[in-house]
Amino acid sequence: MGIITVNSIRVHAYHGCLPEEAVIGGDYVVDVKIKTDFYLAEKNDDLSKTVDYCDVYEIVKREMKIRSKLIEHAAARIGDALRAEIPQIEKVRVRVTKIAPPMNGDVASVTVEVIR
C-alpha cells in the first residue's frame, strides 16, 4: 500500500457565485492525494501497475474547466471522476484552493477538501 500525491496543479478557471467570476475567472491550485497499492510497480518498475499521475493531472484539468458556483462542487466532481476513471485508487483526497477570492477582506486563499 502507498500514497501518491500530485501537488500544486495550477489552473485558471471560472468558478464562483459572482457574475464577473464567470468572465474573468481566477487562479486555483489543486492537490490530490491518492491511496493505492503499487507493490507490483515497486517490484517490476511497471507504470501500468500504479496510478499514472499524468492521468490525474488530465482529469483535474478537465473537471476544473467545468464551471461551478462553489469550489466544493468542483472538488467533489474531481474526486468522483478520479475514483470512477482510475480503478487502482482506493481512496482520494482532493484539495481545491481559490487564490485571492473576491471578498470584502484581505484573504490570500480559501481551500476546501473532499475525501472519496
Q: For residues 64-78, b (16+ Cβ closer than 10 Å) or e, as one string?
A: beeebeebebbbbbb
Domains in the chain: ranges and CATH: 2-115 (3.30.1130.10)
DSSP 36: E
Q: How many CB atoms lie within 10 A of CB 79?
A: 23
Give tens-digit pLDDT for 46-76: 999 999 999 999 999 999 999 999 999 999 9
Give tens-digit pLDDT for 4-38: 999 999 999 999 999 999 999 999 999 999 999 99
Q: Is the pTM of this model over 0.75?
A: yes
- CB of 86 closer than 8 Å to CB of 55: yes
